[in-house]
A and B are shown apart, each in its own frame.
Chain A
Amino acid sequence: QAPAPAASSPSVVAPAAVMPAPAAVGGIQGQNIFEVKPDASETPGYASQTNGERARVQPGNNAPMWHQVGAGATGYSSLPKAQAPEAGNLIQPFVQYPGSRLTNAGEAWRQVRNHWLIPYGGALLLIVAGAIALFYMGKGSIKLHGAKTGRRVERFTPFERSAHWANAIAFSILAISGIVMAFGKFFALPVMGAMLFGWLAYALKNLHNFAGPVFVVSLLIVFFTFVRDNLPSRGDLRWLLKGGGLLSGKEVPSHRFNAGEKLVFWGGVFFLGMVVVASGLVLDKLLPSLVYERGTMQIAHMVHAVATVLMMAMFTGHIYIGTIGMEGAYEGMRTGYVDETWAKEHHEFWYDDIKAGRIPVQRSEPAPPAGPTVQA
């Protein structure tokens, strides 16, 4: 009897396994089978035939369609596009994300996330945390060299501070919740158990989703507030070349913000911040008129994850220096005022400017006398 068309058409995907040699069974009874042209695959354009054209020469050979499916072709589904934009896709299209095999997008995304983002991102965060811890244990915090003068200059206005803290708080929430979402199942789940962890993650996930927009707004404000003083200026290069004097122990003069801070500002606040914000807004489905397809979400997620991990790494440093890493820095951000000594040691040019009267000592309205942050 005639051979199964599947067997005679090599382009049918994996039929051999599905349908082991049917020879023993009483022949092929489908009549169309006799119309199969064994040499159909020789015809010109065979490879580019549509499913319908293929059916003409090799009935039942649906290879063209399965290729389409594999390529993520969108078929018809009666569900409205607005409600289910991807209902017509059988399988996600084949893609190759950086770090994945060429496979369907869902699997590719899974590979990127599970094989790269989670392990290496987690490792990076651990390394940064470890490095800072080692640095701290080794060198301790950067102390003031001179004695405090007791004279204080205003470093941050209340507006600047509230913007910064809103931003800082949102960031902390986002970072903690983000870490729990991404890595929680490795460290928290085994300890807490599924149910408790589930609740925690649920709470944090929702917190993350709502803190995100807060972060977006505060970040923009922070950006515009600080952008002027973060513009490159003379001395930055020297500061950088000398590594901020971190190794020499001798501070390099700088303006209000030193080149290190400017790097954080432009690299972290501006570049990573914008990337995180943009990807976060997509993930949060807050951009109107965008169709939130899975492919979009996957890309947004990968971008988000990379940017947030880098941002977390960077700001771990920032936070370290802003708190235990440097004497007096935190005070400045908390109270708005720094001792002249601090200003002179860390931001000499800025100090000079103040002394020269180019920058007022007090930029904000003088605080009411009873206020805790006013000079003692």
Chain B
Amino acid sequence: MARMKFVCDAERCIECNGCVTACKNENEVPWGVNRRRVVTLNDGVPGEKSISVACMHCSDAPCMAVCPVNCFYRTDEGVVLHDKDICIGCGYCSYACPFGAPQFPSTGSFGVRGKMDKCTFCAGGPEVNGSQAEFEKYGRNRLAEGKLPACAEMCSTKALLAGDGDVVADIFRNRVVQRGKGAEVWGWGTAYGSRQAGQPPAGGKS
């Protein structure tokens, strides 16, 4: 079974924000909600690296664990999704998420946030696949269409890879071997635990 993961190759990412607007475009995400964002470290000095980050669809997802109404679920492909009909907008998932993935349409007083929104790995939500309701609440369900996330598909440098963890790790490993540097698969340790941080033996993952 494919286990969906993201890899962002810090040696390639150029902070062009293509992934960010691809997501906005594909999922019609409103202003203020950034399912994906790009962070640059050591900005403007040698050693600068940029990384595009969204929900990593963690194995032992903190967001899921703290949600007071248990509205998260995980698909067969390891994608962490949630049900906006159930979400109460308490914000706990955003406190818990290491990556700051959960977003809220409002930041008002009285803790009014609206329903949480986050990267769905372009896999929609609990509504019927491809339905209008699904689109309006969660954006496109590209996985159901046999496509991969819009952000990664459109990444200007193919720094951002999305897909079966084994496959993307292989592509990435190939690059690393080619260039002989930049080996860190950013975020995997945090998202998938140290056991999964590395590359499972090819084809050996159950």
Looking across the interface, which residue of chain B has its beta carbon closest to that of A181?
B68
- A185 to chain B: which residues have CB within 8 Å? 68-70
A370: interface (CB < 8 Å): no
A311 to chain B, nearest CB (A): 19
Residues of B within 8 A of A105 (CB): 98
B10 beta carbon closer than 8 Å to chain A: yes
Instruction: Report A-chain residues with C-beta under 8 Å of the C-beta of B88.
Output: 181, 198, 201-202, 205
Q: Does A298 sit within 8 A of B, measured CB to CB? A: yes
Contact with A along B63-102 (1 / 0, CB 8 A): 0011011110000000000010111111110111111100
Q: Which parts of A248-292 form the interface with B (CB within 8 Å)?
A: 283-286, 292
Q: B38, B97, B181, B199 — which one has the most chain A CB atoms within 10 A of its CB?
A: B181
**What sequence of 0s and 1s flags, for each residue 73-93 of chain A, a beta carbon within 8 Å of any chain B beta carbon?**
101111100011011111110
Q: A16-B198, A198-B69 are in contact. Are A286 and B110 (CB under 8 A)?
A: yes
Residues of A contacting B112 in the complex (Cβ-Cβ under 8 angstroms): 206, 209
- B197 near A: Cβ within 8 Å? yes
Counting contact residues on chain B (CB < 8 A from A), the size range is: 35 or more
Q: Mark A236-256, 1 if CB is under 8 A from B, else 0.
A: 000000000000000000000
Cβ–Cβ < 8 Å partners of A317 in chain B: none
Cβ of B65: which chain A residues have Cβ within 8 Å of it?
110, 114
On whether the beta carbons of A62 and B45 are closer than 8 Å, the reply is no
Q: Which residues 18-38 of A have a CB within 8 angstroms of B?
A: 18-20, 22, 25, 28-30, 32-33
Q: List 25 A-B contacts (CB under 8 A).
A: A4-B177, A12-B183, A13-B184, A17-B199, A18-B198, A19-B173, A20-B199, A22-B176, A54-B47, A60-B183, A64-B47, A89-B100, A104-B190, A106-B97, A109-B96, A184-B68, A184-B69, A185-B70, A194-B86, A197-B86, A198-B87, A285-B108, A286-B109, A297-B91, A301-B95
Which chain B positions have C-beta within 8 A of A12?
183-184
A53 contacts B by Cβ under 8 Å: yes
Tell me if A364 counts as interface (CB < 8 A to partner B). no
Residues of B within 8 A of A20 (CB): 199
Which residue from B10, B48, B62, B182 sits with its C-beta under 8 Å from A106? B62
Contacts of A201 in B (CB 8 A): 68-69, 88
Residue from B32, B68, B111, B178 within 8 A of A30 (CB atoms): B178
Q: Does B39 contact A (CB under 8 A)?
A: yes
Total contacts A to B, CB within 8 angstroms? 234
B116 — which chain A residues lie within 8 A by C-beta?
Answer: none
* A77, A195, A209: the one within 8 Å of B111 (CB): A209
**Beyond the given A84-B34, A110-B66, A206-B112, could you list 17 further A-B residue pairs with CB under 8 A, ordered by the A residue number?**
A4-B183, A6-B183, A19-B176, A19-B199, A22-B176, A28-B180, A51-B49, A55-B47, A56-B46, A65-B10, A69-B41, A76-B39, A78-B17, A181-B68, A184-B68, A205-B68, A301-B92
Q: Write out the residue numbers on chain B whose beta carbons fall within 8 Å of the beta carbon of A6.
A: 176, 180-181, 183
Binding site secondary structure of chain B? loop
A75, B40: Cα distance in complex, Å: 5
Residues A194 and B40 in contact in the complex (CB < 8 Å), given A22-B177, A209-B112: no
Q: Which of A65, A84, A298 touches B95 (beta carbons < 8 Å)? A: A298
- Residues of chain A with a CB closer than 8 A to B130's CB: none
Q: Is the CB of B10 within 8 A of A62?
A: yes
- Whether A294 is near chain B, meaning CB under 8 Å from some CB there, is yes
Of chain A, the residue at the smallest CB distance from B84 is: A198
Report the contact-size class of chain A (Cβ under 8 Å from the partner).
35 or more
Q: Is there contact, CB below 8 Å, between B37 and A79?
A: yes
Q: Is the CB of A14 within 8 A of B194?
A: yes
Q: How many whole Å from B82's CB to the nearest CB in chain A? A: 11
Please name the residue on chain B nearest to A287 by beta carbon. B109
> Shortest 10 CB-CB distances between A and B: which pairs?
A17-B198, A60-B181, A51-B47, A52-B46, A52-B47, A198-B86, A28-B180, A76-B43, A6-B183, A15-B183
Taking CB atoms and an 8 Å cut-off, the chain B residues in 31-65 that contact chain A are 32, 34, 37-49, 51, 53, 62, 65
